[in-house]
Amino acid sequence: MMTKFDIVVIGGGHAGIEAAAAAANMGLSVGMITMDKYAMGRMSCNPAIGGTAKGHLVREIDALGGMMGRIADRTGIQFRMLNTSKGPAVWSPRCQSDRKLYSEEALRVIESIKQISIIEDNVIEIITAEGKIEGVKTKLLGDISCKALILSAGTFLNGLMHTGLNSTKGGRFGEKPAIGVTESLLQLGFQAGRLKTGTPPRLAKNSINWDVLEEQPGDENPQPFSHHTDKNNFPFLPQVSCHITHTDESVHKILERGFDRSPMYTGLIKGVGPRYCPSIEDKIVRFADKKQHQLFLEPEGLDSDLIYLNGFSTSLPAEIQSEAIHKIMGLEEAEMVRPGYAVEYDFFPPHQIDLTLETKLIHGLYFAGQINGTSGYEEAAAQGLVAGINAALKIKGEGEFVLKRSEAYIGVLIDDLVNKSTDEPYRMFTSRAEHRLLLRQDNADRRLTGLGYDLGLNSKSARDQVIARERLINKAIDLFGRLKLHAKDINSFLNENGSNGIDSAETVSKLCKRPELSLTKLLTIVDPEEYPIVNELMSDSPALEQVEIELKYEGYMKRQQETIERVEKYETTKIPSTLNYLILKALSTEGREKLHKVKPRSIGQASRISGVTPSDISILMVYLKH
């Protein structure tokens, strides 16, 4: 008898976890196929979650009802808020994770969801009929049927690992590649390419001279990723420090000696690597004028003897890696437990998917994660969540879920992938979001919790808590826009805080815009008996922080909102999916080809496709009007 599920998810990485959990929590049966269930959520590279812009993605995943933030909170051993010396739009949470515990917690979460069945097997073929997904063929179990299939295979599709001139088949150290899936998709008419990522050497903790290294502790009052995390018991694990050191010119010279045996420079590696996270050999070539590069020594876990050398990603010969490491301050006697290596793997350029992450070629087939050309656990998890939601909605006949660029970083990520495609590993940055002041990590719950509730992924109490906070924030902003403080009552306070006095009364809102004044300080001179909201706000630090941000940046935020409203007409001007762009001869040649390839849903989406000019958009709008 054939095994049947509503949805099959291939892969137990970060994308697969979110896809399976979302679809199952929406009431569908899910078969999760992975080669090794104990490798669930295993961190191939740096054991860390979040970081610049990536932390925004984790907060958004959590607000929608996803799992990554909760797992990270349970297994984090150092929490930091990055970029706090800059504006709030780029503040980004990050945590160093215990690699082993993260994987164990991920498996516990998936096993706790009754609708998910974990199948340890290899998929060797995708089964379709008349342009629709039918199921998969596996090595051990045979045929498995499904109504939707989510492919999130990470770096395992025909994975090939390189250290120097030695190559080994595999998607991660000690793990076999996935063979057959790519070949099956190519037969269905998909286009594939090759990408590369890399990982640094691992060092033995006790062989490092920690005394000469710069310590990098976590935050004194760490903040969790998840809004569901009990702050009274957070953090759950002992917290540790990371450390900093640097390369120098002597290190660079040793590395250069290995270039003739580098798989990157000898042509052994064909895949394109991540431009924004280059290998150490790539750094010393591209930035030849830099005499040193910063390196971070990060623990792999509380009970692990391994140290991750962040910033030293490489595929050079092992002996060159070892010699260079011994020239680095603090690492003179370091034992290299495992050399760094590069991984080449298959991906499918993402112009072949829609904004729902469903493929355009096969109905019911979804791609999520590195198969779409992204790099990073967080980008993968965000895609997995969206794919899982949309696969479930399609089966239930309840429409689709698409986030706009103005709603979430997740919307920016998917919009970029579909419209611009990619020929190198895509990484999220705050600079990619044009409305980033409105898409801050601190307000992700306000933006997205309601959507997660509507999908059945968030509880009523979670939604009600956000509604109550929203009410408090709006009430406070309204009051502070009206409440005036008089010169006789406030000038001595202003002088004490290095701020100029005032001649007449000014509102709390206007005073708060002064960089030297915080809202917390200003509220010390507002009578809480006359204005009870002050005590309410002071007892809710997330609400207090967001009120202050909205007061200080009111003008900028208003302009961003006006921009969104101005271009909304382009987003709502729909383009029929049946439109044949090839017959529109007035369009530029490149514009015709790109529009035909992407098949945008709206004029707004069409305007963001690389190679489509403003003139093309004008012609398209005239055509649609007539």
Say if residue 431 is exposed, middle or buried (CB neighbours under 10 Å; 0-12, 13-18, 19+): exposed
List, for residues 536-560, the tens digit of each pLDDT value: 999 999 999 999 999 999 999 999 9
At 49 the three-state DSSP class reads strand
**Homologous superfamily of domain range 573-625:** GidA associated domain, C-terminal subdomain (1.10.150.570)
501 bridge partner residues: none
Residue 624 has pLDDT above 80, yes or no: yes
Helix boundaries (H) for 112-246: 181-187
| Pair 246, 295: CB distance under 8 Å | yes
Give the integer Cα–Cα distance in Å for 61 and 381. Answer: 8
Q: What residue spans define the domains of the chain?
A: 3-198+345-454, 202-340, 460-556, 573-625
**158's torsion region: left (phi>0), alpha (psi -120 to 50) or beta?**
left
The answer as to CATH 3.40.50.720 being correct for domain 3-198+345-454 is no
Residue 480 has pLDDT above 90, yes or no: yes
Q: Note the pLDDT of residue 150.
A: 98
| Pair 298, 99: CB distance under 8 Å | no
Over residues 248-272, the mean pLDDT reads 84
Q: Note the pLDDT of residue 44.
A: 85
What do you get for the CA distance between the two ends of the chain, in Å?
Answer: 55
Q: Note the pLDDT of residue 10.
A: 97
Pairing mode, strands 294-299 and 193-199: unpaired
- Among 159-168, 300-309, 404-413, the minimum mean pLDDT is found in 159-168
List, for residues 109-143, the tens digit of each pLDDT value: 999 999 999 999 999 999 999 999 999 999 999 99
List, for residues 564-590, the tens digit of each pLDDT value: 998 888 899 999 989 999 999 999 999
Over residues 67-85, the mean pLDDT reads 97
Split at pLDDT 50, 70, 90, the class of 205 is very high
Pairing mode, strands 306-310 and 336-338: unpaired
List, for residues 33-46, the tens digit of each pLDDT value: 999 999 999 998 88
List, for residues 585-600, the tens digit of each pLDDT value: 999 999 999 999 999 9
Give the integer Cα–Cα distance in Å for 543 and 51. Answer: 23
- Reference 20, options 313, 486, 388; nearest CA is 388
Average pLDDT of the chain, as a whole number: 94
Split at pLDDT 50, 70, 90, the class of 422 is confident
Token pair, residue 612, equals: 């489509």
pTM of the model: 0.95
Torsional sign, CA 511, 516, 518, 523: negative
Torsion of CA 107, 110, 112, 115, to 10 degrees: -150
List, for residues 365-408, the tens digit of each pLDDT value: 999 999 999 999 999 999 999 999 999 999 999 999 999 999 99
The answer as to CATH 1.10.10.1800 being correct for domain 460-556 is yes
Give the integer Cα–Cα distance in Å for 354 and 360. Answer: 6
Strand segments, DSSP code E, in 518-617 are none
Residues contacting residue 557 through CB under 8 Å, at least 6 positions apart: 437, 438, 550
Q: Note the pLDDT of residue 303.
A: 96
- Reference 383, options 406, 416, 361, 360; nearest CA is 416
At 291 the three-state DSSP class reads coil
Split at pLDDT 50, 70, 90, the class of 1 is low
Q: Note the pLDDT of residue 279.
A: 85
H/E run at residue 576: none
Over residues 50-56, the mean pLDDT reads 97
Classify 202-340 by CATH class: mainly beta
List, for residues 265-321, the tens digit of each pLDDT value: 777 777 776 666 778 888 888 888 899 999 999 999 999 999 999 999 999 999 999
- Reference 357, options 374, 372, 379, 370; nearest CA is 372
Pairing mode, strands 132-138 and 123-129: antiparallel
Please tell me whether the peptide bond between 235 and the residue prior to it is cis, using omega within 30 degrees of 0: yes
Over residues 196-216, the mean pLDDT reads 95
Q: Note the pLDDT of residue 229.
A: 95
Q: Note the pLDDT of residue 482.
A: 95
Q: Note the pLDDT of residue 276.
A: 64
| Pair 84, 91: CB distance under 8 Å | yes
| Pair 143, 127: CB distance under 8 Å | yes
Q: Note the pLDDT of residue 28.
A: 98
Q: Note the pLDDT of residue 119.
A: 97
